[in-house]
Amino acid sequence: MSAFMNFRIALRAISANKLRSGLTVLGIIIGVAAVVALMSVGQGATSGITSQVEGLGTNLITVSGARTFMPMRGGQSYSLMYKDYEAILEVIGEKARIAPYYQGNANVIYGEREADTSVTGVLSIYQDVNEYEIASGRFISDLDNLEAAKVAVLGATTAEDLFAGLNPLGRNIKVDGKDYSVIGILSEKGSSGFTSQDEMVLVPLETAYTRIFGGQAKSGGAYTISGMAISVINADDVDSIMSEIEYILRREHGLTLTDDMVFTISSQTQMLESLSDISGTLTVMLGAIAGISLLVGGIGIMNITLVSVRERTREIGLRKAVGATRGIILVQFLIETLTLSIFGGLLGVLIGGGIAGFVSSTGVLTASVTFDTIFISFLMAVLVGIIFGLYPAFQAAGLQPIEALRYE
């Protein structure tokens, strides 16, 4: 009894009742299609986020101040200070470009319009480190900073929000009631997953300190910074520079090695990892939810096969009478359920891939159908066929020939 013969017998049994077989297969098709489509969307989102983060540069290190309020201890401040920046610059200035910034809330208006964003004081190097491109005008220069000039550079969205199509260059916006001349507009950069990079008002750091925030930006009489963006010139140095920064910050703030590190030093790579972890988990969850419908499809297969075994009791009896063993009957019914599930799996992969393609074409989400997704969902369909086929197949194989032949 060859596998091929068994397959032919299975095909005949399946085609004997086309509507019923079709409905059974439908359960598997929907399950597999759902798994393929949802996992593809999940993976598409993952790779979308990662590629955007990668677009920020993999050599980027960010240093930010304590997120929670820490009490002063021994006269030491846990705010990130401007002099921390100077200390770090002194040590790693050769190997990296460092852009400190101070970010605060200020009222930004043009005429009747108000910008919904914070104001960030930066140095000229900030443009380089963050790879900002200028759409029109120019970026903040070192001279602007020295003079604490009342100038501002706007993000693309902010410019649109405030000026609604007017050319902002040369016009004055009001920051906390004082006039600032708009000298440049940044090109659109898109969102980096969580925050828009196009909503910002940049002013010279010195201007932010002396003209806008004043004492608010000081701690213990010295200026603080919100953070630093550091672009490492050689990617291999990222790890060593991160530990150097930590060493400097601990030293400057009197933190011993056993104290908690109150500042956050993170590299783009770490951020990338945690982002893809999150979206990977989401993808698996989506897949699992879709898997439930595959499970229901499997129960459908089992149900139909049980009915089929009951209906074909006499046929099974006859097959046994003419010499079919338990094993042969078992395999016959397993092949039947397997054929259904493989067929459903193939169609499901096609339809799921089609759905993913359609979703991508609408532009709302990007779905990426990977070989892994197809392989896993197809394998799941086959497993469902085997697992839910086993019980009915054992029922069929276990029939006593004499009783099966008498079955009405």
Partner 1 sequence: MIEAIDIIKIFKLGETKVHALRKVSVKIDDGEMVAIVGPSGSGKSTLMSILGCLDVPTRGTYLIDGQQLDNLSSKQLAVIRRKKVGFVFQKFNLLSRTSALENVALPLYYSGANGKDRQKKAQEALEMVGLSHRIKSHPNQMSGGEQQRVAIARALINNPSIILADEPTGNLDSHTGEEIVGIFQRLNREKGQTVVYVTHDPFIARHTNRIIHLVDGKIINDMPVENPLDAGTPRPDDVLNSLWSPEESEVL
Determine the Cα–Cα distance for residues 70 and 64; give it in Å rounded to an integer. Answer: 14
# chain residues binding partner 1, by CB under 8 A: 22
Rounded to a whole number of angstroms, the minimum distance from the CB of residue 339 to partner 1 is 17
Closest approach of Cβ 405 to partner 1, in Å? 7
Q: Is 213 helix (H, G, I), strand (E, B) or coil?
A: helix
The binding track of 284-323 with respect to partner 1, each residue x by CB under 8 A or -, is ------------------------------xx-xxxxxxx
CB of 391 to partner 1, least distance (A): 19
Binding of partner 1 by 170 (CB under 8 A) = no
The answer to whether the beta carbons of residues 185 and 245 sit under 8 Å apart is: no
From residue 397, give the alpha-carbon distance in Å to each of 12, 94, 113, 315, 386. 19, 78, 79, 12, 15
| Closer residue to partner 1 in complex, CB, 22/48 | 22
The Cα 194–Cα 118 span in angstroms is: 16
Touching partner 1, residues 314-373 (CB under 8 A):
314-315, 317-328
**How many CB atoms sit inside 10 A of residue 283's CB?**
21
Nearer to partner 1, 12 or 113 (CB): 12
Pairwise CA distance, residues 300 & 281, whole Å: 29
Q: How far is the CB of 34 from partner 1 (least distance, A)?
A: 34
Rule CB under 8 A: is residue 72 a binding residue for partner 1?
A: no
Q: Does 73 bind partner 1 (CB under 8 A)?
A: no
Q: Which is nearer to partner 1, 383 or 405 (CB)?
A: 405
Nearer of residues 176 and 315 to partner 1, judged by Cβ: 315
Residue 358 and residue 40: Cα distance in Å, rounded? 12
Tokens at residue 231, please?
């672009």
What separation in angstroms does the CA of 58 have from each of 13, 130, 245, 247? Answer: 59, 11, 18, 22
Amino acid at residue number 43: Q
Of 1, 278, 288, 299, the residue at the interface with partner 1 (CB under 8 A) is: 1
Contact region with partner 1 (CB under 8 A), list: 140-148, 178-186, 269-277, 398-406: 398-406
| Joined tokens for residue 351 | 């339809």
Residue 402 binds partner 1, judged by CB under 8 A: yes
Query: CB-wise, 91 or 318, nearer to partner 1?
Result: 318
Token representation of residue 370: 């990977």
- Is 391 in contact with 58 (CB distance < 8 Å)? no
Under the rule (CB under 8 A), what is the footprint of partner 1? 1, 5, 12, 16, 314-315, 317-328, 400-402, 405
